[in-house]
Structure 1
Amino acid sequence: MWDRFAAFDPGLVRLTSAMRAVLGTAATLAVLTALRAPETVLVVGGFTVMTTSLAVSDLHPRNQLITLGLGVPLSLASLAAGAALTPYPSAAKLVFLVVIYLAVQARRFGPRGLGLGIFGFMAFLLSQFTQARADQLPQFGASVLVAFGAVTTVWYCVGPITASRALRRLRHTFDVRLHDVLRDTASMIATGQDIDTRSRSLQDRLGRLHASVLLIEDFLDERAVDEDTAVLLPRLSRVEVAAHRLAVLAVRAMRTPAARNDLSEGTARQRLAQRIRALRHQPTVGTTCAAERCAEGYEGGPANRPTGSALVLDCFPAVDELAEALRVLGPRDRPAGRRTPPRKHASPTFGALPRRDTDTESLKRGATRQAFQVTAASALAMAGGHLLSPHLWYWAVAAAWVVFIKNESTGEVLLQSLRRLAGTVLGVVFGYGLAALVGGDGPVLLILLLLCMFGMFYTPSHAYWAVTFFITGTLGMLLALMDTFSTHVLLLRVQETALGVSCGILAAVLVLPTTVRRASDEELVGFLQVLDRLLRTVAAGSTGTEIKTSWVRAAHDLDQALKSFRKACLPLTHPLNPQCRRRHRARHLLELLEAGAYHARSLAATAERLPAGHVPECAARLTAAADRAHETLIHLIQVTGHRSENASQTARPTVIRALSRLSEEQRVSRNWPSPEHRLLLHINRLDAALTALVRALDPLASDPDRTTVVPSERADIPLPHGPVQAAVSCAVLADRCERARAE
């Protein structure tokens, strides 16, 4: 059961945040009640605790404390400004707009800027909610300090989370999700039925495994990496790539039906499934017994493997590769320094590639544009909300503010607005039912309020309608505790929310609008630029430690860019999108990019294991292949920037998911290729994916001037430089590389 929690909540981040919010609120209310504080002061304290859990999104405990410390003076200043302006409603609204503009502008500083903006906005909103006066500032300020003190005590005294413990939890999530991938792979091989359904499920499992790797990368980026953790990310990437490759080969093998009377094929599949099941114990336990169980299932080389089809036999070396990657990675609870000789990791500046989320110019432009949009939406919400209710107009402003958080295009704002409105309507019904059922029982209402607060923070952010549902439920319990609960207030809540989201949509359409296509094209160009840097690094022909590290970093930057593109395309790929043709085209583009990102990760993972002085001939071929892929990439960037509307009139493409597309690629060789040939293979297949992407973006555009050749056992590869004088097969190339290394 604990493993299921770890798989659902990576690193137990949401569970920790929810428990901190509930315990912090309970501690704050207990202290203020003991001090005989009035009801309004209790609301200020509880609201401040909730704001801290919303604003602090850092993964590293030290960074969480820094953001929390910066939030204290900012909250006090914003609350004081709102209280001082309460007697002057017009001035308070104008200053509130200034606070909103500055809070949105702070998003240019990344997650911490977003959190500080939330602190400033929520504190001013709190002053309007409680109608704070200047003579109440000492009590309210003390309540805010008590809230921050309770939060700090709960966070760092009651079960403190250290950096090593947080990293160990993230590793636990990785192990559990890898366990799920191996279980589904073994089940698919053993049964050999419902391959399409099982492959789709396996694709989702692989996506969750990849998300855990990205989360570990984000955590490592927030802390100083020592010698023991410097190699963690490349090793995790190696395990992930090996698991993904095994899944691709397994789906490819299972799509070929076995003869009913072919006993050798059935035996081979059963032994393969048995080997994968034995491998499941290695990542999750990491003990000597588990390693012995894996060793018992080891086939001992090609000579001891069963007879069967070539596609099934291809999976056995993939299992061996995954077992070796897990052995190098080791268990998550291994002490520092054990079984891991100290290695000097690469300098963070040498060969480092700029991260997409640290592009300051892009953040500044986006924050400035969105600041004008949010300010305009808030101004409209203030005017309309005041007409609906002179005392509760701030609900409309809060709705207009929220729908722009982490959203860029008009489509994203529209989708977030619909989620907000749906969650509010369902939450009003839920809150009304609970309040009517409980009546005026204060302790029960308080318990229900804390449970709704727990659900608010434990619900995944992508299920925003559920988050809003629990927020509205929390508000309903709060109104019941304050004896201001009524049907009129709940209906007014729905009206103010509908007004706020409508103002947000209107501002997104009229004020510096960004269409979904423009936003997705910008993210696609960013993805292609990161990929271009990766290919230029490969074309440099160097295999030093620093360059290898930059390959791994480039691959993960590519994953971040793909994540941004997926989010930008969400309004198009959403099932509620009525334009089926555009939805299928967006999903088709996404599956091509996912296939390309898989080959990029495989490039980086293979390069990390490449020997220090590999064969010059192989390096020349890698450079030539990277140059060819670079040419396709340049052509693709040009097509992306100038593609016409004719593509939308073409036939609707077939969406088969990335795992199925990868499994349909041509089989290369019966023999396991060398690392050099593996690099060449992935570069050429990446080039093929880019060429397919050109056709998908604009079917009427001409193809690149050359034809991409995916190397196979019998395919001839032209020499990289000058006229073609001879042709060398990949098998001969591998033999030459092996002989040169031996010499």
Structure 2
Amino acid sequence: MLKRVFTAPDPGRTRLRFAARAVLGIGLAVVACGLAGHALPGVVTGGLAALLALFTVADASVRGQAVTTALLPAVGLPVLTAAAVLHDHPVARDLGFLAVIGAGVYARRWGPRGHSLGVFAFMMFFVAQFLHATAGQLPELYASLALSLSAAAVVRFGAWCYERRTPPAPVPAPPGGRGLARVTTRQAVQATAGAGLALVLGQLVSGQRWYWAVGATWWIFVNTASRGETLVRGFRRVLGTVIGIGLGLLVAVPLHGAPALTAALVAVSVFGIFYTAAVSYTWMMLWVTLLAELLYGLLGVLTPGLLALRLAETGVGALGAALAVLFVLPVTTHTITDAWIQRALRRVHACTAEAAARLAGDPAADPAGRAAELEQLLGRVRLAVAPLVHPLNPMLGRKRRARRVLALLDACARESRGLAAVAADPEASHDARLAAACWRVQAAVEALTDGESAAAAPVERPPVTEPALAHLHGLEHALAELAQPLRTPSGSPLVGA
């Protein structure tokens, strides 16, 4: 796990820039709130708002990101107000929290913007519980929110807008459907049920920190779609929390909230959250846990007993999520895995078609953009397949097949990147062999995505010197080999129902 974090590829140092910009944006937000004379609850609220704005907003274009950022207060302020007003009315507060959770998950059907707004709404309710916010504190919290989101926007869209130079690939939206067939609808019901159970059990464990259990359930559902993904994510959340608590006992507790050292470690934690998020959920949770511990240190309430309570509440939240995905409108791993693999294969088709058009002289064709989209989709495929390749999965045959599929899809991505790079060369030319190879690749993708039980066997072709043709031959071979692990001779899918 440690090796994976530090050796994972970071093309264009995107993760490094993402993390460094987050530290700058959140730091600026906290300084702005401090200079405005806001009390610690306002500073914490502002810092969290900036973190969410920089972390969750993931629209495909800079313009889209700016619009989503501008919309955050429209959902955050009403939710923050409701949470503060209902603070002394437990039943209404709990029902309101569950309503926000259901609506926040359901909003994911509208893609990255719905996801971002849903997360922001949930966290505004959560931070009100974390700070025990009351109606009298709302004016200062509103000001902190406005200052912090403005500071984050200045950094993201002004001082450090690297997306203008390197447009990000669109974040894949979840699979569609209608009614209860739609994954986001089923997840909204699951998350509400799981959070309801976590809320009840969490209050039995602690009447003061019950919201930790609800928060654990919520974040376990984020960026998951199937029961397998959710169960694996729950395991990783608990593991990351355990490691983070151990680190907190060594680092955060002895500090006793010392401002300067705590501020430095908060910056390190923020960097760690953003840098590891795309690579390891366990590591991200380690940094999230340490950040929470440091904030409790600033509030003067951090003790070993509080850390033990956090672990217990996290376990309750993971249990709520697990029971919900197992028994409330379960979404099978196969359903989600197949959907994402199909989309990745179609992106291979699109990349090949764009490359062929570019080689034929069409300057508007963009194979590089399609290759970047394929990379994004493969990240989502890895998440979907994670339950199958997990060390605790006892089904060794399916584990081997899943690993083979991932290796061949990685080969497709590698060859697609190479093809896109060659097609971008103005000296590259198109000939009949390239056209025929492109057609064969597209036919192989169609055979796999149309549900045919078999595809053409791999054909060993003579070595070629033309780079474009070599990449196309590599794609042909990888796609032909994919037919076997994706479907057994009897036609069964990669994973069972």
Q: 2:448 aligns with which of 636, 639, 645?
A: 636
Residue segments in structure 2 that go unaligned for 5+ positions in a row: 1-8, 492-497
**Letter paired with 1:457:** F
1:310-389 equivalences under 5 Å are 357=172, 361=176, 365-389=182-206
Q: Secondary structure of the residue that 2:29 maps to in structure 1?
A: helix
Q: Secondary structure of the residue that 2:168 maps to in structure 1?
A: helix
Residue in structure 2 matched with residue 700 of structure 1 by the alignment = 489
Residue in structure 1 matched with residue 463 of structure 2 by the alignment = 668
Offset at residue 134 of structure 1 (A): 2.7
Q: Secondary structure of the residue that 2:207 maps to in structure 1?
A: coil
Which shows bigger deviation, 363-372 or 112-121? 363-372
Offset at residue 103 of structure 1 (A): 1.3
In the alignment, structure 1 residue 510 sits paired with structure 2 residue 327: yes
Q: 1:400 aligns with which of 184, 202, 217?
A: 217
Q: 1:64 to 1:565 in 2, by over 3 A?
A: closer
Residue segments in structure 1 that go unaligned for 5+ positions in a row: 169-215, 222-355, 644-661, 703-743
* Structure 2 CA distance for aligned equivalents of residues 42 and 627 of structure 1: 58
In the alignment, structure 1 residue 528 sits paired with structure 2 residue 329: no
Offset at residue 153 of structure 1 (A): 5.5
Q: 1:622 to 1:507 in 2, by over 3 A?
A: same
Q: 1:577 to 1:32 in 2, by over 3 A?
A: farther
TM-score (normalised: structure 1): 0.56
Q: 1:666 to 1:473 in 2, by over 3 A?
A: same
Query: How many percent of aligned residue pairs carry the same amino acid?
Result: 32
Q: 1:473 aligns with which of 260, 278, 290?
A: 290
* Structure 1 CA distance for aligned equivalents of residues 427 and 260 of structure 2: 67
Residue in structure 2 matched with residue 463 of structure 1 by the alignment = 280
Offset at residue 599 of structure 1 (A): 4.5
Q: Give yes or no for contact 1:22–1:453 (8 Å, CA) kept in 2.
A: no
Residue in structure 2 matched with residue 519 of structure 1 by the alignment = 336
**Letter paired with 2:411:** A
In the alignment, structure 1 residue 418 sits paired with structure 2 residue 423: no
* Structure 2 CA distance for aligned equivalents of residues 595 and 12 of structure 1: 27
Residue in structure 1 matched with residue 105 of structure 2 by the alignment = 104
Offset at residue 148 of structure 1 (A): 3.2
In the alignment, structure 1 residue 117 sits paired with structure 2 residue 122: no
* Structure 2 CA distance for aligned equivalents of residues 538 and 8 of structure 1: 26
Q: 1:388 to 1:595 in 2, by over 3 A?
A: same
How many residues are aligned here? 478
**Letter paired with 1:15:** A
Offset at residue 414 of structure 1 (A): 1.9
* Structure 2 CA distance for aligned equivalents of residues 540 and 7 of structure 1: 26
Residue in structure 1 matched with residue 25 of structure 2 by the alignment = 20
Q: Please, what is the CA RMSD of the aligned residues?
A: 3.9
* Structure 2 CA distance for aligned equivalents of residues 608 and 400 of structure 1: 46
Q: Give yes or no for contact 2:389–2:402 (8 Å, CA) kept in 1.
A: yes
Q: 1:96 to 1:636 in 2, by over 3 A?
A: same
Find the structure with the greater CA-based Rg.
Answer: 1
TM-score (normalised: structure 2): 0.81
Offset at residue 627 of structure 1 (A): 5.7
Offset at residue 378 of structure 1 (A): 0.9
* Structure 1 CA distance for aligned equivalents of residues 174 and 394 of structure 2: 34
Q: 2:365 aligns with which of 534, 549, 554?
A: 549
* Structure 1 CA distance for aligned equivalents of residues 148 and 253 of structure 2: 30
Residue in structure 1 matched with residue 311 of structure 2 by the alignment = 494
Q: Give yes or no for contact 2:54–2:156 (8 Å, CA) kept in 1.
A: no
Q: 1:463 to 1:592 in 2, by over 3 A?
A: closer
1:443-454 equivalences under 5 Å are 443-454=260-271
Residue in structure 2 matched with residue 184 of structure 1 by the alignment = none
Residue in structure 2 matched with residue 573 of structure 1 by the alignment = 389
**Letter paired with 1:700:** P
Q: Secondary structure of the residue that 1:545 maps to in structure 2?
A: coil
Residue in structure 1 matched with residue 76 of structure 2 by the alignment = 75
* Structure 1 CA distance for aligned equivalents of residues 355 and 259 of structure 2: 66
Q: 1:29 to 1:459 in 2, by over 3 A?
A: farther
* Structure 1 CA distance for aligned equivalents of residues 155 and 231 of structure 2: 37
Instruction: Determine which structure has greater relative contact order: mean sequence separation of CA pairs < 8 Å that are 6+ residues apart, divided by chain length.
Output: 2
* Structure 2 CA distance for aligned equivalents of residues 358 and 433 of structure 1: 40
Residue in structure 2 matched with residue 595 of structure 1 by the alignment = 411
* Structure 1 CA distance for aligned equivalents of residues 303 and 375 of structure 2: 49
Q: 2:398 aligns with which of 570, 577, 582?
A: 582
Q: Give yes or no for contact 2:191–2:221 (8 Å, CA) kept in 1.
A: yes
Offset at residue 416 of structure 1 (A): 1.6
Offset at residue 419 of structure 1 (A): 1.8
Deviations 1:130-186 (A, max 9, x none): 3333333223323333433444556577xx1245xx555xxxxxxxxxxxxxxxxxx
Offset at residue 533 of structure 1 (A): 5.5
Residue in structure 2 matched with residue 647 of structure 1 by the alignment = none
**Letter paired with 2:142:** G
Q: Give yes or no for contact 1:17–1:53 (8 Å, CA) kept in 2.
A: yes
Deviations 1:506-541 (A, max 9, x none): 212222323333322222222334445667789999
Q: 1:683 to 1:23 in 2, by over 3 A?
A: closer
Q: Give yes or no for contact 1:695–1:701 (8 Å, CA) kept in 2.
A: no
**Letter paired with 1:101:** G
* Structure 1 CA distance for aligned equivalents of residues 251 and 353 of structure 2: 61
Offset at residue 427 of structure 1 (A): 1.9
* Structure 1 CA distance for aligned equivalents of residues 287 and 84 of structure 2: 28
Q: 2:380 aligns with which of 553, 561, 564?
A: 564
Offset at residue 7 of structure 1 (A): 6.1
Q: 1:457 to 1:27 in 2, by over 3 A?
A: farther
Q: Secondary structure of the residue that 1:423 maps to in structure 2?
A: helix
1:617-628 equivalences under 5 Å are 618=432, 622-623=435-436
Q: Give yes or no for contact 2:230–2:322 (8 Å, CA) kept in 1.
A: yes
Q: Give yes or no for contact 1:45–1:147 (8 Å, CA) kept in 2.
A: yes
Deviations 1:595-641 (A, max 9, x none): 344445555555666999967xx38x945x6665555545434557x
* Structure 1 CA distance for aligned equivalents of residues 42 and 439 of structure 2: 66
Offset at residue 394 of structure 1 (A): 0.8
* Structure 2 CA distance for aligned equivalents of residues 565 and 428 of structure 1: 31
Q: Give yes or no for contact 1:532–1:633 (8 Å, CA) kept in 2.
A: yes
Offset at residue 363 of structure 1 (A): 11
